[in-house]
């Protein structure tokens, strides 16, 4: 179901609240348990059918009654969204919404049927960032069908388009009476995004940055400064870096700082890592270096267990209208189980808090685990819990 445009609690808030998360992968096994699945055939060395991912998940965590309804995958996250009523909801959609059979021979290909994509409406998603290493998994025909599907669902895309102008254009989410949230989306080759996927003036593709150099930062800043209107809150969403590991590359930090210094970006929304990474507050702006996966079909796959990729985080950032300064950041942990988001154990939340506090300590950032099971950002200069 579509959510109402202006919930009463959101209207009463003085801040603008954004929901952000990392990779939302709704293809393969997840697509198969919904009502209108694609052809399950895959082109992987590991398995030959998307139904094999369903069997892996059921072996790990128990049977999934099929077909599930569209709201199923969001699970407990829907309760949080209803309670917190974000003004804008932004995800990295790491799945092509298509029945195209024109697969890219890259070993891993994610797709969900356009009919099953209606599940995005059940979570009230406003913006899907598409500059990532999976949106062209099923060719440019698959990308075009993805864009058409999002248009049908009235969800704004950013970071991919029918040509370079469309791919580079930001998504604009109006916040009635308080301005706009303007979302730019970029991918880096370091995330595995092929340079051949870059959008061109006459070719569909993704909004690809060649590197994180000063020259690249200046081009992004010039675009943001040219586009922005008074009271815009700017989110720059970047798919960068490897899937595993906590290291924050120095060029990522420098690039994020330049965007904040040069274009007054409110949030740098980083993703690609399969697990959450360090958080930083810089000049009262929020930098999420890696948000981790939010939904996927990886249950039962062995490897990298030490990173707890089964744990997901909903980031709820409250921003001051106009300035974009961070007033509050709450993080709601979940666990992916049987292809849906469920409440984690207290021990899982404690592990997340300890791990993210350890990794963020060098960035002058710590987290507090609250009695309600959420995490809150704590820094010098004190954010309210």
Per residue in 224-252, pLDDT tens?
999 999 999 999 999 999 999 999 999 99
* Dihedral in degrees, nearest 10, Cα atoms 269, 296, 350, 361: -30
pLDDT of residue 80: 97
Q: Domain count of the chain?
A: 1
Distance CA 123, CA 72 (A): 10
Q: Which has the closest alpha carbon to 4: 163, 124, 94, 157?
A: 124
Mean pLDDT of the residues in the chain = 94
Residue 381 binned pLDDT confidence (cut-offs 50, 70, 90): very low
Mean pLDDT, range 9-38, rounded to an integer? 92
Mean pLDDT, range 151-170, rounded to an integer? 98
Mean pLDDT, range 307-328, rounded to an integer? 96
Residue 13 binned pLDDT confidence (cut-offs 50, 70, 90): confident
Beta bridge partners of 366: 378
pLDDT of residue 367: 87
H-run or E-run covering 376: strand 375-379
Pick the range with the lowest mean pLDDT from 2-16, 64-78, 175-189: 2-16
pLDDT of residue 207: 98
Is the CB of residue 220 less than 8 Å from the CB of residue 251? no
- 70: pLDDT strictly greater than 70: yes
Pick the range with the lowest mean pLDDT from 9-18, 131-140, 168-177, 237-246: 9-18
Beta strand ranges found along 106-260 (DSSP E): 111-112, 127-129, 156-158, 160-161, 171-175, 179-187, 205-206, 232-239
pLDDT of residue 106: 94
Residue 157 binned pLDDT confidence (cut-offs 50, 70, 90): very high
**190 lies in some domain:** no
**202 lies in some domain:** no
Half-sphere exposure of 237 (CA within 13 A, CB side): 35
- 384: pLDDT strictly greater than 70: no
Is the CB of residue 50 less than 8 Å from the CB of residue 29? yes
Distance CA 375, CA 385 (A): 9
**282 lies in some domain:** yes
Give the orientation angle of helix 214-227 with respect to helix 250-263, to 10 degrees: 30
pLDDT of residue 378: 66
- 379: pLDDT strictly greater than 50: no
Three-point CA angle 201, 260, 160, nearest 5° = 25
Mean pLDDT, range 168-190, rounded to an integer? 97
**250 lies in some domain:** yes
Peptide bond into 161 cis (omega under 30): no
Which range marks the domain in which residue 304 is found?
Answer: 8-125+223-233+240-379
pLDDT digits (tens, 9 = 90+) for 258-310: 999 999 999 999 999 999 999 999 999 999 999 999 999 999 999 999 999 99
**180 lies in some domain:** no
**324 lies in some domain:** yes
Distance CA 280, CA 289 (A): 8
**374 lies in some domain:** yes
Say which residue, 119 or 13, is predicted with more confidence: 119
pLDDT of residue 8: 60
Cβ atoms < 10 Å from Cβ of 227: 15
Mean pLDDT, range 360-371, rounded to an integer? 90
**181 lies in some domain:** no
Percent of the chain with pLDDT over 90: 90
Left (φ > 0), alpha (ψ -120 to 50) or beta: where does 28 sit? Answer: left
- 382: pLDDT strictly greater than 80: no
Q: Which has the closest alpha carbon to 344: 307, 308, 304?
A: 308
Distance CA 376, CA 79 (A): 19
């Amino acid at each position: 179901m579509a959510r109402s445009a202006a919930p009463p609690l959101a209207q009463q808030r003085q801040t603008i609240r954004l929901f952000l998360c990392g990779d939302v992968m709704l293809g393969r096994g997840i697509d198969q348990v919904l009502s209108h699945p694609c052809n399950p055939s895959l082109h992987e060395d590991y398995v030959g059918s998307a139904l094999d991912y369903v069997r892996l998940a059921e072996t790990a965590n128990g049977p999934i009654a099929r077909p599930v309804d569209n709201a199923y995958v969001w699970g407990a996250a829907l309760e949080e969204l209803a309670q917190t009523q974000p003004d804008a909801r932004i995800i990295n959609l790491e799945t092509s919404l298509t029945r195209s059979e024109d697969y890219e021979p890259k070993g891993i290909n994610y797709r969900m049927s356009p009919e099953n994509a209606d599940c995005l409406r059940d979570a009230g998603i406003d913006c899907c960032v598409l500059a990532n290493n999976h949106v062209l998994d099923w060719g440019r025909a698959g990308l075009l069908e993805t864009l058409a599907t999002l248009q049908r669902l009235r969800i704004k895309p950013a970071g991919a388009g029918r040509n370079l102008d469309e791919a580079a254009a930001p998504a604009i989410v109006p916040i009635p009476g308080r301005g706009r949230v303007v979302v730019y989306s970029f991918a880096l080759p370091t995330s595995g995004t092929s340079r051949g996927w870059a959008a061109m003036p006459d070719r569909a593709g993704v909004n690809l940055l060649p590197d994180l150099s000063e020259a690249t930062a200046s081009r992004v800043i010039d675009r943001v400064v040219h586009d922005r209107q008074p009271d815009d809150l700017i989110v720059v969403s970047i798919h960068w870096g490897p899937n595993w590991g906590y290291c924050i590359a120095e060029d990522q930090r420098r690039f994020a700082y330049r965007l904040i210094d040069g274009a007054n970006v409110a949030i740098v929304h980083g993703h690609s890592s399969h697990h959450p990474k360090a958080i930083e507050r810089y000049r009262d702006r929020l930098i999420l270096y890696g948000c981790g996966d939010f939904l996927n079909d990886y249950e039962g796959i062995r490897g990298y267990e030490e990173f707890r990729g089964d744990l997901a985080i909903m980031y709820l950032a409250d921003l001051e209208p106009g300035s974009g300064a961070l007033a509050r950041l709450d993080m709601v942990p979940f666990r992916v189980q049987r292809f849906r988001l469920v409440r984690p154990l207290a021990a899982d939340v404690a592990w997340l808090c300890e791990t993210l506090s350890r990794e963020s300590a060098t960035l002058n950032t710590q987290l507090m685990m609250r009695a309600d099971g959420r995490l809150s950002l704590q820094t010098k200069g004190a954010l309210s819990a």
